[in-house]
Copies of this chain bind each other. A is one copy, B any other.
Amino acid sequence: MEESISHLLVQVCKAHRGCLGEALSQLGLHVGQEMILFHLWEQDGVAQSQLIGGCQVEAPTMTKMLSRLEKAGLIQRRRDAQDARVWRVDLTQRGRALKEPVYRCWQKIEERMLRDLTLEEKLLLRRLLLQMRSNLFEGE
């Protein structure tokens, strides 16, 4: 199994995570937190449950990440007026300000990773990854 595609995939993902983490740490972020911010940059004041769906993360993970983002001053939480069970999440000024630098990080690593791939290769790669994802999601 040494050089299986699974193993390569894991290695590439780990390397990607490593590079991203290095870049994000210079913005005071930890890798993973950017997914939450991506969603908030698209739509602010969203319910926590929507973030859970969007980031494909479990509820307790989201709770911890949000409380860290809150402590870091990037977001704020408020109770929903209609439904007291839900918490809504708003970006702070500092959270909004990170949008461009984080996008640049992300894009820079994407470009670096796919450096010498042709357009056809990129398109095929995307198609294969989509297929693999649905294979894994669609169970046995």
Contact = CB atoms under 8 A, between A and B. Distances in A.
A27 to B, nearest CB: 15
Q: Chain A at the B interface: mostly helix, strand, loop or mixed? A: helix
Given A38-B1, A137-B15, A6 B110 contact: yes
A135 B107 contact: no
Interface string A115-133: 1110001101110111111
A16 B6 CA distance: 8
A13 B8 CA distance: 10
B129 A113 contact: no
18 contacts: A1-B110, A4-B106, A5-B113, A5-B114, A5-B125, A5-B129, A9-B16, A10-B16, A11-B133, A12-B132, A12-B133, A12-B136, A19-B136, A109-B136, A113-B135, A115-B135, A116-B135, A125-B128
Interface of A: 1-6, 8-19, 38, 56, 103, 106-107, 109-110, 112-117, 121-122, 124-126, 128-133, 135-137, 140
